[in-house]
Structure 1
Amino acid sequence: MKKLSLYIVLLLLLAATKVYSQKTDIKDNYTSQVQKEEGDLNHDKQNDKVMVEMDLKDETRPLRLQIFLSQPDKKLQMVVSSTKIIESQYPTDKKGEHNGNPIPDFFIEDGNLKMLTDINNRKSNYEFRLKQNNFELLKISRVLWDGKNKTFETEIDLIAKTKIEFEQELGSDEILNKRTTKIKVSSLPKIQDLSFSDLEQY
């Protein structure tokens, strides 16, 4: 009976070790650095860090966004880690084909984090602010070129709850067909809760 109990304990320990090992492997698979951006996000005059890394072991080539904020001891602490805000390079629904879009760019401007995407030739700029260790989506601006001499532009302000759409001729500052609509916003979306498809819905 004692031998049986010991055998069961050993099996449980081996299973736990295997699960831990798998979790560690998954965590460490994002080994290819795609982008590194530094700047002050929490207004303490110290550099914070934004990292985009790719998992080369996974055939879909998923990407991970991580944000590190400086602390009073001048060390960096991770506050955001997301694998869903950037689309995989070879999504499963594409059956081995590339998604056709460049990897988004992240940069820090005026203390806010900005994410630039180019999805199906529609260029978008997402602006996030840091509030209580959360990065909240504030504004979205988009530009779509018709391939000739006109652009279709959209500006969304989630605080003002407005969506402005207009057109412009290339080389002209004149705004055409401007339309303003009110949008419903119950709370500002947080970057760690958003997927790339969520962003495209706005």
Structure 2
Amino acid sequence: MQMVLSLKNSVIIFIFILFSFPLNLSAQNSSVKEHYTYQVREEHGDLNGDGKMDRIIVEMDTLDETRPLRLQIFLSQPNGKLALAVSSTKIIEPQYPVGNQGKFNGYQIPDFFIEKGILKMWSEIKGGNITYDFKYNNGSFELIYVNKLTNNATKGYIDEKTIFTETKFDLVTGIRTEIDEISGSDKALKVRKKRVLIRPLPKIQDFKFSDKELY
């Protein structure tokens, strides 16, 4: 009889452990959820053309060692309240990327501006900077224009002045223009144009910080 009770107790303990394991695992997973609690950017302006103020915020997860960042866009509603329209953790590179062996990526957190209904994102890149223009259209923010300025050291110097390359890419027309210039001069050294059609236009929720290499 005692052996039977012992066997039953063992089965009960085993079942308890079996069912408690996934619960513990779930608890562990919940403990490593995103914690975007530190706000680093905020901007207000009319993005959807209704004459009311919309809101943009950038928040950092301070518990994650990579210090990831999240962009959120809140649009005004007819009832006067703001509703979340976009939330992306892919558009901004973490401050300490996984592939950088725990080192700082070297770039400041991007700035966001609203000008004439256009959402502008200004970011530092290697040797320069890049600005993306997103326009609200049919419920989505579409990339319509890119302006990139880089110090093209591979092309050398002229009279000890640096050569810069400015790239203007109108995604609506598909016209991409590259202009080589000397610092301090208004005259272009060389202008290159080509047509590059991207359809459909990239949407902000699908945009990744690594996409800068595409433009």
Shift of 1:175: 2.2
Instruction: Compute the displacement of 1:189 (Å).
Output: 0.2
**1:81-127, Cα deviation, whole Å (9 max, x unpaired):** 00011000001111110111111111101101000011112210100
Please give the secondary structure, in 2, of the residue aligned with 1:107: strand
| Change beyond 3 A, Cα 1:70–1:60 | same
* Bigger mean CA deviation after superposition, 48-57 or 173-182: 173-182
Q: Superposition pairs for residues 93-172 of structure 1, below 5 Å?
A: 93-146=99-152, 148-172=161-185
Measured in 1, the distance between the counterparts of 2:120 and 2:130 equals 10
What corresponds to 1:92 in structure 2? 98
Matched, 1:26 2:33: yes
RMSD between aligned alpha carbons? 2.6
SS of 2:99's equivalent? helix
Work out whether 1:180 is the aligned partner of 2:193.
Answer: yes
TM-score of the pair, normalised by structure 2: 0.82
Distance, in Å, in 2 between the alignment partners of 1:131 and 1:18 is 42
Q: Do residues 199 (structure 1) and 212 (structure 2) align?
A: yes
After alignment, is 32-41 or 178-187 more displaced? Answer: 178-187
Tell me, in whole angstroms, the C-alpha distance in 1 between the residues paired with 2:48 and 2:20. Answer: 43
Shift of 1:144: 1.2
User: How many pairs are equivalent?
Assistant: 198
For 1:76, which of 69, 73, 82 is the aligned residue?
82
| Whole-angstrom CA distance in 2 between matches of 1:186 and 1:45 | 30
Q: Aligned residue for 2:60?
A: 54
Higher CA-based Rg: 2
The alpha carbon displacement at 1:72 in A equals 0.3
Whole-angstrom distance in 2 between the partners of 1:24 and 1:75: 31
Identity %: 45
TM-score (norm 1): 0.87
AA in 2 matched with 1:149: T
Task: Render the CA deviation track for 1:159-189: whole Å, top value 9, x for unaligned.
Answer: 1111100112223222221110111312100
Gap regions ≥5 residues in structure 2 = 1-10, 154-160
